[in-house]
Amino acid sequence: MEKVGILIEFKDDKIKKTNYGVITLARQQGCELYALVLNGNAAACKEQLQQYGIKKIIDIASKEGPLQWHPVKWARAVVAAMDHFGINTLCGLTSAQGKELLPRIAADLDAPLVMDCTDVVLNERAAKKSQFSGKTVATIKVNGNHFIFGIRPNAIEKQPDPCEAEVIPFQTTVDKEALVVKEIKLQTHTGIDLTEADIIISGGRGMQKPENFAILFECAQVIGAAVGASRAAVDAGWAPHSMQVGQTGATVSPKVYIACGISGSVQHFAGMKTAGLIVAVNTDPEANITKNCDYYIVADLFEIVPILSRQLKLVVGENQLT
């Protein structure tokens, strides 16, 4: 049975739920799964990981204890664990951290790497990913002794399959590195992580000014959504880059994407095309986004969004009562 390593990612010491989609992908293909945990939280996350069919959790640490975040050291530690446990294939998330780590691991192993996969057939070494701003889907087949795949967050639906997991400690030697992480500055981020969100409500140039994003945050709070932005809104300084969706921003795959005052450029679509349901609010009945959305509301967003928030509040309130 093929041994597949799953690089587990955390946010604020909690497992990112998008890991479960990656685990589901590999588990459904009959692979022997090894969850690789590097932040010292292996024992604490046993309960959650075993719900998704993980039987082996590798607690990777140095002789001195848990490894502090350091892309080069973490990459080497993962390579050492893969070597020790005979793992040939590694799957992780195409997230900010995944983009730091997976290419380094691939380089250390001289292994082929495919990032932003929306599907992978592991025994055929074949990955699907969208190309040219989402215009085509490519199937990429790779050869080699090791294989590294970065999966697009939320691209695969998570499905539980409970089992009993064991935590296996693995110690590795960490060399001194020329690259030193002196400081980690976390950007203050309001609410839910874009790539983790099931629902995203985004604003574009139609928002007109930064204060107007407040109506999106209000609506987002009602339904537990994350707030995104188009590049036009980010370039205007109305929202931070961490909120940008698109080719040069975050690639997201929520269940629902609500675009407010966004025209639907190819570059914006490149980042949200795989959303389950796309709703657009735009005053222009012929905006490009009409061609690619499921529901289109031709109206002023400043009228529609507050109504949407009010109506959703009622629905959410009723559901809480029942």
Ligand X SMILES: Cc1cc2nc3c(=O)[nH]c(=O)nc-3n(C[C@H](O)[C@H](O)[C@H](O)COP(=O)(O)OP(=O)(O)OC[C@H]3O[C@@H](n4cnc5c(N)ncnc54)[C@H](O)[C@@H]3O)c2cc1C
Applying CB under 6 A, which residues contact ligand X? 204-206, 230-233, 244-249, 261-263, 265, 267-268, 271, 281-284, 287, 300-302
Whole-Å CA distances, 48 to 14, 20, 57, 153, 164: 10, 9, 11, 18, 11
Task: Assign 138 to helix, strand or coil.
Answer: strand
Q: Minimum distance between the CB of residue 317 and ligand X, rounded to whole angstroms?
A: 27
Q: Minimum distance between the CB of residue 197 and ligand X, rounded to whole angstroms?
A: 17
Amino acid letter, residue 99: K
Q: Minimum distance between the CB of residue 194 and ligand X, rounded to whole angstroms?
A: 12
Q: Minimum distance between the CB of residue 239 and ligand X, rounded to whole angstroms?
A: 10
**Nearer Cβ to ligand X (115/301):** 301
Angstrom distance (rounded) from CA 129 to CA 201: 24
**Nearer Cβ to ligand X (45/197):** 197
Query: Facing residues of 208 across strands?
Result: none
Angstrom distance (rounded) from CA 271 to CA 275: 9
**Nearer Cβ to ligand X (174/233):** 233
**Nearer Cβ to ligand X (159/208):** 208
Q: Minimum distance between the CB of residue 153 and ligand X, rounded to whole angstroms?
A: 16
**Nearer Cβ to ligand X (2/218):** 218
Angstrom distance (rounded) from CA 284 to CA 101: 43
Whole-Å CA distances, 74 to 81, 102, 304, 318: 10, 10, 47, 47
